Amino acid sequence: MAKIKEKRKKFNFIDAILLMVILVLVAAFSYIGFKAYDNYFQKQASGIPIKYQILVEGVSNDIKYSVNKGDAVIETATLTSIGKVLEYSITPSKFMGVDENGNVVVNDHPSESDILITVEVNATGIGGTYDINGYSITAGKDLNFRIPGLRMQGKCIAVEESDE
């Protein structure tokens, strides 16, 4: 009678590696799947082109910054991309003085400038409050942002939907 050898399969090192690899693959494909699911619905919901303005007041003339059309704008706390510079203007800050008669006199500040940056981006939302890649923007909101040539705190002073 042939001795039937029962080959007992033991769980070995190769099986452990294989199992780990399968788990990693399942996790990776799940992540990619969920991400694609979210992106699909975001794309369905997004598509509102908006423009908003950031006002940065009192920038010292000691700072040699640069602003360029097309600069990517990044919110520094969340590192969220919140649009691209459409246009900008730099004007002397206003200085409010008082003359000897107590009258308020407004002149240009000798060493500070205001920067007004208009940013364009696609966002979701309606009625003045918009969501840009998870970051909420509305008129009046303070934001810390950076572009390649400047890092500052400013205030969003206006948001509107673009005509295009």
Residues in touch with another protein (CB under 8 A)? 14, 17-18, 21, 24-25, 28, 59-60, 62-66, 72, 74, 95-100, 103-105, 107-111, 146-152
Backbone angles phi, psi at 18, to 5 degrees: -60, -40
C-beta closer to another protein: residue 23 or 45? 23
Tokens, residue 37: 């699911």
Spatial contact of 117 and 157, defined as CB atoms under 8 Å apart: no
Residue 110 or 127 having the CB closest to another protein = 110
Nearest to 60 by CA among 5, 109, 123, 131: 109
Smallest separation (angstroms) from another protein to the CB of 162: 25
Element (H, E) at 101: none
Q: How far is the CB of 51 from another protein (least distance, A)?
A: 23
Name the minimum Å distance from CB 141 to another protein: 19
**Is 134 or 149 the residue whose CB approaches another protein more closely?**
149
Nearest residue (CB) to another protein, 33 versus 149:
149
Q: DSSP labels for 108-148?
A: EEEEEEEEEEEEEEEEEEETTEEEETTEEE-TT-EEEEEET
- Smallest gap, in angstroms, from Cβ of residue 144 to another protein? 10
